[in-house]
Amino acid sequence: MKFTHRGKNVAQMARIAPPTRFPDAVAVSYYRGMRKLITALGKATMEMFDEQIIPQIKLYRNRQDDMQYRADAPLDVIQRAIDMIKALSLGIFSSSAVLDLANSFVGGINTFNSKNMADQGRIKGIDPTQYEPWLDEFMRSSITENVSYISSIRDDYFPKIESIVHQGVKNGKSIKDMREQLMKQTGMSLKRAQFIAVDQAGSITGQMTAKRHQSMGVNKFKWLTSQDEKVRDSHRVLSNKVFSYSHPPVVGLPGTDYRCRCVAIPVFDEDEINSNQKHDFLRIKASKTDNPDDIQAIKDDLAMIPDTHRELLSEAVKEIRIVKVGSSNYNRETGVLSILEGMEKGELVHELGHAIETKLNFQNNHVYQQLMGKLVGNKTMADIYYDVESYDIPVWLLKDDRFISEYQGRLYYDVGIMNDNGVGINPESVGEYFAEGYREFITNPQNLLAKDKNLLKFIEELMS
């Protein structure tokens, strides 16, 4: 017997893994714990400053009124007061208090993440938390690391308040200014605590998630950002892209970069199969003589294309063919895209870039023309060279540090390399700029971000 739910066969219902979650509440609790210690330390500092240090500063500044008084006596008292603050801090940031705080934090992350991962594994009938020989050592090292981070807040605090007081006395700063500087230092310590809380929550969660995903047979993950205005550009371009745990992006696993709140969504086998089938939005016209490796390479390139780009491309590309002579190209009149056998990864994506610029008529796109105008800007013949060796035919190339490849700067002589007035480069002659940029946008967005942020932004807004 097959049970049904709301008229659907349970056996046929899609099983969707619960999303990987960032432990916000645990991070907030950790910050509050550190804030309590810092606030107590700041309070002790201000009380000692008001009751012990201020009178001595006044005495030191009036010492010439009493020549019988030893001139450096007030400074000795000031130093003893600072030493007393240090002694008080050892009680506030006691070994037991710091260890308890680190223990509670790391334990809270583990409890949160293990439930999250167990819920994800349930759809595969696997509980990745049942046998975890790596966990004890990982917990110990994470606790030790966080004990060090908490203690560093106290250790970094004292040289700074000592400098504020001594330099203030030496340079004749007002007591009000010194007091404000001391209070500001407490605020800076609080900001440091906030950084540690978010940074460590992300780092520990990211590492635990990776371990537990792989223990349940998940070899790939989809990068997901926190989707707010705080997401840095280098992570935003990775969102919703699939990576292998054995070959993560250069920034590392989600959560492990500094102050990163991104997470890894598991890609199960059936999800990977579905992803590999995402090539059918374009027709591949294959023959019996075509190499299966070329067909698979085409499918792999197509699978990388975001869903939001596919409708446009399905209108622009009539079909894809594999050719044995000539070169890969997109025929702007017929809509046929030809790929030379033995294609490299991203080669098809490059030609799809030409299909996009044709379909959207970039020659009449004001934003793109502005982008090209900035690109060629003050370029002259001195920025051009003739390459007779690197390609099948000799080509003119434009030099620019923003290019992700030399070929992105290829100039087409038939449309006129120079402007009509003979001054400056004709933007229309830089015919591979967008197509090469689009290839990099799909295959390595971080590199495009680093090389040409304006082009990346243009593609994102164009295809949104």
Q: Answer for the pair 283, 320: CB distance below 8 angstroms, yes or no.
A: yes
**Tens digit of each residue's pLDDT (9 = 90 or more) over 27-73:** 999 999 999 999 999 999 898 888 888 887 777 777 645 544 445 55
- Do the strands 263-267 and 319-323 form a parallel or antiparallel pair, or are they unpaired? unpaired
Local confidence band at 275 (pLDDT 50, 70, 90 cut-offs): very low
The mean pLDDT value for 199-212 works out to: 97
**Within 13 A of 64's CA, how many CA atoms are on the CB side?**
1
3-state SS assignment for residue 338 = strand
Residues 6+ apart with CB under 8 A from 70: none
- Provide the residue ranges of all domains of the chain, joining segments of one domain with +: 24-214, 284-354, 361-462
Residues 6+ positions from 165 with CB-CB distance below 8 Å: 49, 53, 78, 82, 178, 182
Check residue 108 and give its pLDDT. 97
Confidence at residue 298, expressed as pLDDT on a 0 to 100 scale: 92
What distance lies between CA 52 and its chain's CA centroid? 48
Q: Which of 28, 30, 31, 44 is nearest to 186 (CA)?
A: 44
pLDDT confidence band for 3 (50 / 70 / 90): very low
Looking at per-residue confidence, does 275 or 311 come out higher? 311
Answer whether residue 305 shows pLDDT above 70: yes
Determine the average pLDDT of the residues in 267-292.
70
Q: What's the helix, strand, coil split of the chain in %, to 5?
A: 60, 10, 30
Report pLDDT for 380: 87
3-state secondary structure of 397: strand
Closest CA to 77 of 44, 45, 55: 55
Whether 272 has a pLDDT exceeding 50, the answer reads no
> Are 234 and 249 a contacting pair, CB within 8 Å?
no
Burial of 394 (0-12, 13-18, 19+ CB in 10 A): exposed
Q: Which residues contact 229 (CB under 8 A, 6 or more apart)?
A: none
pLDDT in tens, 107-150: 999 999 999 999 999 888 888 988 899 999 999 999 999 999 99
As a whole number, the mean pLDDT across the chain is: 87
Is the Cβ–Cβ distance between 395 and 410 less than 8 Å?
A: yes
Q: Which residues on adjacent β-strands are paired with residue 425?
A: 418
pLDDT at 88 (0 to 100): 82
Phi/psi at 250 (nearest 5 deg)?
-65, -25
Predicted pLDDT of residue 277: 45
Nearest partner of 427 among 415, 440, 439, judged by Cα: 415
For the beta sheet containing 410-411, the strands, ordered from the edge strand earlier in sequence to the opposite edge, are 384-387, 395-398, 410-411
d(CA 129, CA 216): 9
Least confident range of 72-81, 282-291, 451-460: 72-81
Q: Find, among 304, 77, 109, 66, the residue nearest to 208 by Cα.
A: 109
Task: Tell me the one-letter amino acid at 42.
Answer: G
Element (H, E) at 128: none
> Span 82-94, mean pLDDT?
85
pLDDT tens for residues 144-175? 999 999 999 999 998 888 888 888 887 888 88
pLDDT at 270: 54
Can you tell me the mean pLDDT for 323-327? 91
Q: Which residue has the higher pLDDT, 76 or 27?
A: 27
Question: What is the average pLDDT across 301-326?
Answer: 90
* Residue 110, pLDDT score: 97
Q: Report percent pLDDT > 70 for the chain.
A: 91
Axis crossing angle, helix 135-170 with helix 73-92, rounded to the nearest 10: 160
Classify 336 as helix, strand or coil. Answer: strand
379-425 pLDDT tens trace:
888 999 999 988 888 999 999 999 999 999 999 988 888 887 777 89
Q: Which of 9-13, 15-19, 317-321 has the lowest mean pLDDT?
A: 9-13
**Percentage above 90 pLDDT, the chain:** 58
Judge whether residue 77 has pLDDT over 80. no
Predicted local confidence at residue 255, as pLDDT: 96
Q: How many CB atoms lie within 10 A of CB 355?
A: 23
pLDDT surpassing 80 at residue 201: yes
Sheet of 319-323: strand order equals: 284-285, 319-323, 336-340, 329-330
**Number of other residues whose CB lies within 10 A of the CB of residue 78:** 23
Give CA–CA dist 205/202, Å, rounded: 5
Q: CA torsion 163→164→167→169, rounded to 10°?
A: -130
Q: At residue 8, does pLDDT exceed 60? A: no
Which pLDDT band, with edges at 50, 70 and 90, does 273 fall under? very low
pLDDT tens, residue by residue, 355-384: 999 999 998 999 999 999 999 988 888 999
